[in-house]
Amino acid sequence: MRLLATAGRWTIPNLKQFQESRQPVVWLLAPLIGLATGLAAIGFRLAIGVFQLPWLHDMSENVVQAARAQPWWVIVLAPAAGGLLVGLMLRYVLTAKRTDAVPDVMEARVNAGRGLNLRQGC
């Protein structure tokens, strides 16, 4: 009986703190976020397969074996065509200002910090 009373004195305050501290929400969200992340990774891999299917005729991860079965000109032209497509999209479709990167920080350093706000430096 004494052991049960001691366990109750230790357990009840911790359970109250657990319920008040939003820990149950975190415990419920963690597996959901993990599941969503796993599904996103699988979807990303399938999307890669969809893009490699037209030029390698294979969606598997055996890219080298699939590439060996293709003529040399397909191996050269497919990535070049993809790069051209991305370049055209960046030029004509996504016309917003480019993202800030390391060269912008270096340029601001040369200019004594002018032209770089706090958001760009992060």
CB of 115 within 8 A of CB of 107?
yes
**pLDDT digits 0-9 by tens, 73-106:** 998 998 899 999 999 988 888 777 666 677 777 7
- The whole-number pLDDT of residue 117 equals 63
Decide: residue 56, CB within 10 A, 0-12 exposed, 13-18 middle, 19+ buried: buried
- The whole-number pLDDT of residue 121 equals 46
10-residue block means of pLDDT along the chain (122 residues)? 80 81 84 97 95 88 90 91 91 73 75 64 47
- The whole-number pLDDT of residue 98 equals 61
The pTM of the whole model exceeds 0.75? no
